[in-house]
Amino acid sequence: MMILKMKKEDLPAFLESAKQWGELWGPTTKEEQTAYSKVDGLSQMDLKATRTMIPPKKFLYPPRFTMFDFDEEGFVERTGDVPKRILFGLHPCDIHGILIMDKLFLETYKDPYYAERREKTLLLGHSCIPDDKCMCFATNTDFVAEGFDLFFTDLKMFYLVWVGSSRGHDLVRMRADLFSRNLDKNDILNYTEYRKWKTAQFKAKIDLTGMPDIFELGYNSPVWDELAEKCLSCGQCSMVCPTCNCYNVVDEVELGTVEGTRDRFWDSCMFREYSVVAGGHNFRDKRADRLRLWYTHKLQAFIGEFGKPACVGCGRCVSTCPVDINVATVSKALKEQEVGK
């Protein structure tokens, strides 16, 4: 992988040239909420924001979209109308989240809707500073070595830029005059010190070692019922999680016709209706069962199948859940067999 150097003052010019490829999107903050927005340039972005409210998966796997239109003659898929986008400012944890989504939507069965959006999206990562909700050190997602087209590490006076794909190379070649390959020992030392400094910034106390065994041992633990008494089953944890991928499909038909659309939209296994099958039976009618499924999938089942958790430690569940149920509190409760008050 090629690593380049760029002066920080040259970033606006680079982003301006990158817009020839597609729309530029970056993190913007309004009324203390950060979201990815379409921007004209760097001046409109908030690169100091810790996390966006909704993860960047929304660009690849929209909250709701039409799969195809149909009538009595047949159906026509909605493809080809996805704009080309450049997402700038992605943090390592969110890139890890997209890698997990890639595994789910592009490997065993290639989802054509996800694949089209993935192909038309460039991922430009940016280093970040953790806050007291960040847990990526516990999931080994605080740094990233793949899954991006370019990654910018802020070393105060300049950027080290990792080139992660051929498309990233194409962007660099558009303004090759802004980049340098002349790295010296001070650059290496600065980067090493940055990694040490970032690791020291984490404040969250969480230990996820041995979680598959803990979940297996605690499957029938009363902790799940205690947590369920607090849980609102609101599904916010699913909506803000970078790796949650449950969805539903519905046909919208024009009244009095046979014309309509088939739409896909985000769903959550935390919702009671999610597990209802034909005949009205519900496999997970109890809130405790749904809560256990959600966390077991993240911290046990996914590890068993793919060798890593389906949690990237972004801290969104911590900042979003109104009753303080999240990866940190659930893992702690299972280990101590006591729900924190």
Query: DSSP per residue over 9-38, as a string?
Result: GGHHHHHHHHTTTSEEEEEEEETTEEEEEE
Alpha-carbon gap, residue 276 to 271, rounded angstroms: 10
In 3D space, the residue among 129, 321, 107, 109 whose CA is nearest the CA of residue 233 turns out to be 321
Residues 291 and 228: beta-carbon distance below 8 Å: yes
Task: Indicate if the alpha-carbon torsion angle 159, 162, 166, 167 is positive or negative.
Answer: negative
Element (H, E) at 117: helix 112-119
What angle, rounded to 10 degrees, do the helices at 327-336 and 223-230 form? 150
Alpha-carbon gap, residue 153 to 151, rounded angstroms: 7
> What is the pLDDT confidence band of residue 254, given thresholds at 50, 70 and 90?
confident
What is the arithmetic mean of pLDDT over 245-256? 92
Residues 317 and 240: beta-carbon distance below 8 Å: yes
pLDDT tens digits, residue range 206-240? 989 899 999 999 999 999 999 999 999 999 999 99
Q: What percent of the chain has pLDDT above 70?
A: 99
Alpha-carbon gap, residue 258 to 304, rounded angstroms: 45
Residues 19 and 2: beta-carbon distance below 8 Å: no
Residue 298 has pLDDT above 70, yes or no: yes
| DSSP at 84 | P
Residue 341 has pLDDT above 60, yes or no: no
Q: What is the pLDDT at residue 1?
A: 85
Phi, psi of 52 (to 5 degrees): -85, 155
The SS3 call for residue 115 is: helix
pLDDT tens digits, residue range 177-193? 999 999 999 999 999 99
What is the arithmetic mean of pLDDT over 191-211? 93
pLDDT tens digits, residue range 118-166? 999 999 999 999 999 999 999 999 999 999 999 999 999 899 999 999 9
Domain ranges of the chain: 2-201, 211-336
Q: What is the pLDDT at residue 340?
A: 65
Residue 339 has pLDDT above 90, yes or no: no
The SS3 call for residue 228 is: helix
What is the arithmetic mean of pLDDT over 236-247? 97
As given in the structure block, the two tokens for residue 219 are 């499957």
Q: First vs last Cα of the chain: how many Å apart? A: 48
Alpha-carbon gap, residue 46 to 26, rounded angstroms: 8
Alpha-carbon gap, residue 122 to 144, rounded angstroms: 16
pLDDT tens digits, residue range 53-84? 999 999 999 999 999 999 989 999 988 889 99
* Neighbour order of strands in the sheet with 33-38: 2-7, 158-163, 150-154, 121-126, 85-90, 23-30, 33-38
Alpha-carbon gap, residue 309 to 207, rounded angstroms: 13
Residues 8 and 21: beta-carbon distance below 8 Å: no
Q: Which of 93-107, 166-180, 249-263, 304-318 has the lowest mean pLDDT?
A: 249-263
Burial call 46-85: b when 16+ CB within 10 Å, e when fewer: beebbbbebbbbbbbbbeeebbeebeeeeeeebeeebeeb
Task: Tell me the Cα Rg of the chain.
Answer: 22
